[in-house]
Amino acid sequence: MKIPFNNPYLTGKEIHYMNQAVRQGHLSGNGYFTKKCQHYLEERYGFRKCLLTTSGTDALEMCAMLCNLQSGDEVIMPSYTFVSTALAFLREGARVVFADSMKCNPNIDADAIEALVTPRTRVIVPVHYAGVACDMDAIMAIAERHNLIVVEDAAQAIDSYFISRKSNVESQKPLGGIGHLAAFSFHETKNVTAGGEGGLLVVNDERFVRRAEILWEKGTNRAEFFRGEVNKYGWVDMGSSFLPAELNAAFLWAQLECLDTIQLRRKHIWNRYYELLKPHAAKGYFSLPHIPEYATNNAHMFYLILPDLEKRTALIQHLKDNDILAVFHYLSLHSSSYYAKKHDGRLLPECDRYADTLARLPMYNDLKIKEVEYICSRIVQFYE
């Protein structure tokens, strides 16, 4: 019995819809399935405008382009994130200012953001790690005070919510629907996939809608032409080829259609891990994911925080010896070989701690509860 870290889930309808896309004879982007997916996500989450992209990285690049940055403008983001979050803004000439994570979970520490704001700051990029919300009331308030754009890196955050208590009124807001712009990923390691690679740009602020469509269509106003708003289309702005082929959108549709069952199953697995490991966390062996009262859990990931790097290395090896693939995650971007010399030298101890001590356990739809129990028993065996 070998247990992989991830195993892409298939609903069974993927080939059916891909076959339909082929028979419809429209294979390039922005066809029937692209529109179907975009419309579904706009309706389900109340997103102002959705545009499918070829990856989450591409969606982040579109966000960065839409921010219209000048060289030297500053963008605040956590150091504990995937490289794409930083790359998207760096390639627009921005300076990335890394913030530390919270003590309770790897998300950006909202209380540390305001001290980093300078007259050059333009954007804050909260990353909802493991699909668990950052403190968006606090972040949106800082952005409002300093007139900043908020881009949510919601790559891992499909179908997860922030519970806002703004002005003492409680309301649930879908992640990706709070900032001015947001990016989701449909990579095969995420909760739903567009057939391996895929992403989504969400535009919540009306000001960015028109330009987003133009960037998406290689710098042309083609979308307006097809809606009959202009009588010819041409080159009007920057842009690139960000739209996925219909085959990928058809694959994604098969998954979106089953989103509720996918989420139920993942939460079931996540809860079983939590239940079985909780008594051992109480003994101080490790700590479990912390979900603040303002966040929901979309069961994107199950991780442990080990006491130190040596313990983590040993546990991952022990699990590997038992045919279980557990993996660590991000390395601190502020001390990466590419960015260390550009970083301003501030220490980010919480980020470094997660880089050294976080271990992710196998998490995928077809993971059996018996396997979860086996994995937990091997973890306990490591300690006892």
Q: Is 107 in the site for ligand PLP (CB under 6 A)?
A: no
Counting Cα atoms < 13 Å in the Cβ hemisphere of 327 gives: 12
**Binding-site member from 85, 160, 221, 332 for ligand PLP (CB under 6 A):** 85
Provide, rounded to whole angstroms, the least separation between the CB of residue 82 and ligand PLP: 4
Show the site string, 111-130: x = touches ligand PLP by CB under 6 A, - = not: ----------------x---
Please count the residues of this chain forming the interface with ligand PLP, following the rule CB under 6 A: 14
Q: Is 56 in the site for ligand PLP (CB under 6 A)?
A: yes
Question: What are the beta bridge partners of residue 327?
Answer: 360
**Binding-site member from 185, 263, 357, 365 for ligand PLP (CB under 6 A):** 185
**Residue at shortest CB range from ligand PLP:** 56
> Is the dihedral angle over the CA atoms 362, 290, 153, 36 positive or is it negative?
positive
> Which residues does 126 contact at the CB level (< 8 Å), separation at least 6?
77, 78, 107, 108, 110, 134, 136, 139, 150, 152, 153, 179
**Residues of this chain, 203-222, that bind ligand PLP according to CB under 6 A:** none
**Binding-site member from 30, 57, 121, 297 for ligand PLP (CB under 6 A):** 57
Q: Which two tokens stand for residue 245?
A: 């082929």
Q: How far is CA 61 from CA 55, 101, 198, 201, in A?
A: 10, 23, 13, 10
Q: Is 105 in the site for ligand PLP (CB under 6 A)?
A: no
Q: Identify the H or E element spanning 65.
A: helix 56-66
Q: Tell me what percent of the chain is helix, strand and coil, each rounded to the nearest 5.
A: 40, 15, 45
Q: Please say whether the beta carbons of 7 and 368 come within 8 A.
A: no
Nearer to ligand PLP, 187 or 211 (CB): 187
**Binding-site member from 187, 311, 353, 378 for ligand PLP (CB under 6 A):** 187
Q: Is 263 in the site for ligand PLP (CB under 6 A)?
A: no
User: Where on the chain is the footprint of ligand PLP (CB under 6 A)?
Assistant: 55-57, 81-82, 84-85, 127, 153, 155-156, 185, 187, 199
